[in-house]
Amino acid sequence: MTGTTSAALATHAGSAGPRRQGRRGRSFRTVLGVITAGAVAALVAGLALTTASAAQVSYTVWSASSEPESTASDTSAVELGVVFTTKAKGAVTAIKFYRPTQNQGPHTGRLWSSDGRVLASVSFAASAAGWQTAVLSDPVALTPGVNYTASYRAPHGRYAFDYGTLGNGETKVTGDLTALRGVYDYDLGMPRDTYRASNYYVDVVFEPEADEAAPTATSGPTATSAPTATSAPTATATTPGAAPNFPNASNTGVTTTDLRVISGDYHVTTKGAVVENLDIRGALFVDAADVTVRNVKVTCSNSWWIAKINAAGVTISDSIFTVDRSKSTNYCQYGIAANDGSKLYRNEVSFTPDGLIFNGDSAEVVGNWVHDQIAYPGKADHVDAAQLNGGAPGPFVFRNNHFSVPEGQTSCLALFADFGTIRNVWADGNLFDGGGYSVYGGTASAERVRFTNNWFGKTFFSKGGYYGPVTAFSARGDGSEWSNNRWLDTGQLVNP
């Protein structure tokens, strides 16, 4: 942020971890992602009782009397927001934000899902400075335990904010609502970036279901509090370890078996092409930009890559990438080698030493199942479900993936600083299971690395990974965060 909020984010110093073994000495420039985090600070207050017989209350996180301490001098257009969650069923009926006099419109509010989809959009009417409210045309039902973002666009900056009040362990709880962190985005997409635990005074009006407990009309917002070891896990689960939403065979891979067989390698050379409904018995090479690959199965026999992306802006979704295991001599090192701006959604990758590797400047990886990563005899393989090697600006976003490594070496998500500093990585809501350490956190030089709301499994090793769940992570750098990461079987917090 600029003006009153500085644009320069401080360096994150991470603790060095043990060096992994059996590393293959192939040099790839892997990119880490600036997490374009948006969404302004916290939720709206104001208790509004409906009829006493309905016993239903609409309320916000912040009270109507809450006021910010500062107004930014920054005049750039920016999307500001708050990441929040609810522990009870209900719906958002309106979006709110605090407008200083200098913050001129027009203003548009948005409600975002955790994977970056716009769930609702609304325009704010011009009014006096202070809290602004825009009612949604249709209420948006919320799922308990899931993170959402409410935001608004300030086209001329001059937004409200406070430092050190939301994020980095500071939360705001009112009733069933918890505001987790303030976020922003200068690209005007979903806000994901954070700065100095700032609250940007964004809120929602929440209406719980009639049978859910709600604050009484006389209750006020609770004090800001940090999460405790006994707080409920954020993933939806009825019992420890029963989170049903992790990627698996039922919700990843091809959506139909009516596929046209392609014998041999397949090359895509047309910009903007759509490649779909194919069964490729070879390797896939994408040499043109802005290509979409969907509902494709690629079975590799012998290639360095199952899928090699050589151009920017490629999206791969609902596809399978695996190794032909009919012969013991068949071998493919990498599942998908991604490039600048790659987007990977709901894919299954299996039986390669390295599942995903990133050779560009940013990527978004959501809902993928990368499993059964193995070391082949005589290959001295370095085994990772997903790997970054440093030196790229990002963003790299890993959300709601299932990464598992039955080998007792390397990692499910490996952030290695081999070719430069690890920067701008956000891992949220993933399941990490196995490896030497389940997570390598970026080493001592990493900057703006965030692990939030992840789960750690013990399918292969009692410590999560053979040596433990995490190494080489440090939260000392500005913008880095380790919060609400838990064991899948017990729900207890995992600490780095």
Is it the case that residue 274 has pLDDT exceeding 80? yes
Task: Determine, yes or no, domain membership for 391.
Answer: yes
Please indicate, yes or no, whether residues 161 and 309 belong to a single structural domain of this protein.
no
Is it the case that residue 268 has pLDDT exceeding 60? yes
Please tell me which of 308-317, 327-336, 370-379, 483-492 the model is most confident about, judged by mean pLDDT.
Answer: 308-317
150, β-bridge pairs: 82, 111
Is it the case that residue 463 has pLDDT exceeding 80? yes
Is it the case that residue 375 has pLDDT exceeding 70? yes
> Per-residue confidence at 478, pLDDT binned at 50, 70, 90?
low
Q: Which of 1-15, 61-75, 124-138 has the lowest mean pLDDT?
A: 1-15
Q: What is the mean pLDDT of residues 109-117?
A: 91
Where does 416-496 show beta strands of DSSP type E? 423-428, 431-434, 437-441, 447-452, 455-457, 468-471, 481-483, 486-487
Task: Determine, yes or no, domain membership for 12.
Answer: no
Q: 354 near 331, Cβ under 8 Å?
A: no
Please indicate whether residue 422 or residue 26 has the higher confidence score (pLDDT). 422
Distance CA 229, CA 224 (A): 16
Task: Determine, yes or no, domain membership for 332.
Answer: yes
pLDDT at 211: 53
Task: Determine, yes or no, domain membership for 123.
Answer: yes
Please indicate, yes or no, whether residues 172 and 266 belong to a single structural domain of this protein.
no
Please indicate, yes or no, whether residues 204 and 271 belong to a single structural domain of this protein.
no
Distance CA 266, CA 268 (A): 7
Q: Decide which of 176, 192, 208 is a domain's last residue.
A: 208
The parent domain of residue 468 ranges over 260-487
The pair of structure tokens assigned to 73 is 């001098």
Q: Is 351 left (phi over 0), alpha (psi -120 to 50) or beta?
A: left
> Per-residue confidence at 480, pLDDT binned at 50, 70, 90?
confident
Task: Determine, yes or no, domain membership for 27.
Answer: no
Please indicate, yes or no, whether residues 168 and 273 belong to a single structural domain of this protein.
no
Cβ neighbours for 136, distance < 8 A, ≥ 6 positions apart = 92, 93, 94, 95, 111, 120, 122
Please indicate, yes or no, whether residues 157 and 97 belong to a single structural domain of this protein.
yes
Distance CA 107, CA 89 (A): 28
pLDDT at 1: 55
Is it the case that residue 413 has pLDDT exceeding 50? yes
CA angle 132, 138, 142 (to 5 degrees): 90
Is it the case that residue 475 has pLDDT exceeding 80? no
pLDDT at 71: 92
Question: What CATH number has the domain bearing residue 147?
Answer: 2.60.120.820
> Per-residue confidence at 97, pLDDT binned at 50, 70, 90?
very high
Task: Determine, yes or no, domain membership for 24.
Answer: no
The pair of structure tokens assigned to 205 is 């009006």
Please indicate whether residue 210 or residue 265 has the higher confidence score (pLDDT). 265
pLDDT at 19: 31
pLDDT tens figures, 351-371: 999 999 998 899 999 999 999
Question: What CATH number has the domain bearing residue 459?
Answer: 2.160.20
pLDDT tens figures, 441-461: 988 788 889 999 999 999 999
Q: How many structural domains comprise the chain?
A: 2
Please indicate, yes or no, whether residues 180 and 281 belong to a single structural domain of this protein.
no
pLDDT tens figures, 5-60: 322 222 222 322 323 333 333 332 222 233 233 332 332 333 233 322 333 478 99
Please indicate, yes or no, whether residues 274 and 381 belong to a single structural domain of this protein.
yes
Please indicate, yes or no, whether residues 290 and 385 belong to a single structural domain of this protein.
yes
Q: Scan for tokens 């809902």, then name that residue.
A: 367
Please indicate, yes or no, whether residues 288 and 178 belong to a single structural domain of this protein.
no
Please indicate, yes or no, whether residues 379 and 468 belong to a single structural domain of this protein.
yes
Please indicate, yes or no, whether residues 268 and 177 belong to a single structural domain of this protein.
no
pLDDT at 316: 97
Residue-averaged pLDDT of the chain: 80
Q: Decide which of 167, 191, 208 is a domain's last residue.
A: 208
Please indicate, yes or no, whether residues 83 and 169 belong to a single structural domain of this protein.
yes
CA-based Rg of the chain, rounded to a whole angstrom?
Answer: 23
pLDDT at 237: 31
Task: Determine, yes or no, domain membership for 447.
Answer: yes
pLDDT tens figures, 218-242: 233 232 222 222 222 233 332 333 3
pLDDT at 276: 95
- DSSP assignment, residue 405? E
Distance CA 179, CA 194 (A): 14
Start-to-end Cα distance in the chain:
29
Task: Determine, yes or no, domain membership for 308.
Answer: yes
pLDDT at 292: 96
138: how many CB neighbours lie within 10 A of its CB? 9
What backbone phi and psi angles, to 5 degrees, belong to 264? 100, 180
